[in-house]
Amino acid sequence: MDKTVNIALQILPTSKSIHPYKLVDEAIEVIAASGLRYKVTPFETVMEGSYDKIMEVVKLAQEACYKAGADSLMTYVKIQSSRNDVSIEDKMEKYE
């Protein structure tokens, strides 16, 4: 898969002592530092780039949550791919 894809990532962390939003913030920091184009929404973060790069970021985001104190994670991934490149703007431009 050498085309640009969109992958939506939702991580739902649990912890006995840390608020989930704090843990999600750690995952978003990893995404922000990745250099990928991304958009944070209330339920998930959508990333744009190569499949392999984004999946590496998914792994790093999960690791960041555990490092920050998560006891467990439910991680949901949605992938949009095409024979052509896929962009966030294709879906969002008329709404922004």
Cβ neighbours around 11 below 10 Å, total = 23
Q: What is the distance, to the nearest Å, from the Cα of residue 78 to the centroid of all Cα atoms in its chain?
A: 10
This prediction has a pTM of 0.92
> Looking at residues 68-80, what average pLDDT do you find?
98
Question: What domains does the chain contain, in order, with CATH numbers?
Answer: 5-81 (3.30.70.930)
pLDDT in tens, 13-68: 999 999 999 999 999 999 999 999 999 999 999 999 999 999 999 999 999 999 99
Total Cβ atoms within 10 A of residue 27: 26
φ and ψ of 43, to 5 deg = -115, -15
Measuring CA to CA, which residue among 67, 7, 69, 57 is closest to residue 32? 57
